[in-house]
Structure 1
Amino acid sequence: MDNDRKHASKVGAKWLKDNKVKVLEWPSQSPDLNPIENLWAELKKHMRARRPTNLTQLHQLCQGEGAKIHPTYCGKLVEGYPKRLTQVKTFKGNATKY
């Protein structure tokens, strides 16, 4: 959840409250707190030179190039999360190096 309105329905909020799930507060749609944004950037970097000409090629190339991204890269993104969180808190929600 990133405080985006589509993730904050009344039903969802009630479920979280009823199940005592603690939700962290952070800026809506903050790429600094969303490691998947870094993964997308890595995939785009791999795709830049390929230049697909149709959706079928795009799909095939995304699958092929995505498979080349090593799982340890994803692990490092997750492991770096505490540093990201600290930086976002330090910069009070403003942009960070991430």
Structure 2
Amino acid sequence: MLWGCFAAEGTGANHKIDGIMRMDNYVDIMEQHLKTSARKLKLDRKWVFRIDNDPTHTSKVVTKWLKDNKVKVLEWPSQSPDLNPIEHLWTELKNCVRARRPTNLTQLHQLCQEEWANIHPYYCG
């Protein structure tokens, strides 16, 4: 499983998740990658983080971390269809990696990192 973020300017970090995503793992990933990705993408202080209603994303621990770190979150109604634009990027990533035919998990991860970094901003905007 991968965690990734993006903005109209392009892709931010991409992080491999071993096993099941738990709320403490999610907080660790955000601590490591969220604000550094915002800086890399040259986002001003007015950026808004978009997450879906997955229980991990909306847990009290995650909500507290977001509030403590002054991360503004886009309100997303419950029971809404999954219209998350990152799904298009995951499809693009899968297609690019599949075309390179990785032969083991190490190579798969390496290719995911390379191809994520190479996704053109056209797909992000």
TM-score with structure 2 setting the length: 0.42
Matched residue, 2:79: 27
Pair 31,23 (structure 1): closer, same or farther in 2 beyond 3 Å: closer
CA contact (8 A) 2:97 2:111 kept: yes
Q: 1 or 2, which has the higher helix percentage?
A: 1
Residue 6 of structure 1 aligns to a residue whose secondary structure is coil
In the alignment, structure 1 segments of 5+ residues that lack a partner are: 76-98
Question: 4+ residue stretches of structure 1 with deviation over 4 A?
Answer: none
Shift of 1:2: 2.2
Q: Alpha-carbon deviation of 1:10?
A: 4.1
- Higher normalized strand content (fraction of residues): 2
What TM-score do you get using the length of structure 1 for normalisation?
0.51
Q: Which deviations, in whole Å up to 9, do the C-alpha atoms of 1:32-64 show, x marking residues without a partner?
A: 2x1111100001111222221112211221122
Q: Whole-Å Cα distance in 2 between the matches of residues 44 and 31 of structure 1? A: 19
Structure number, greater radius of gyration: 1
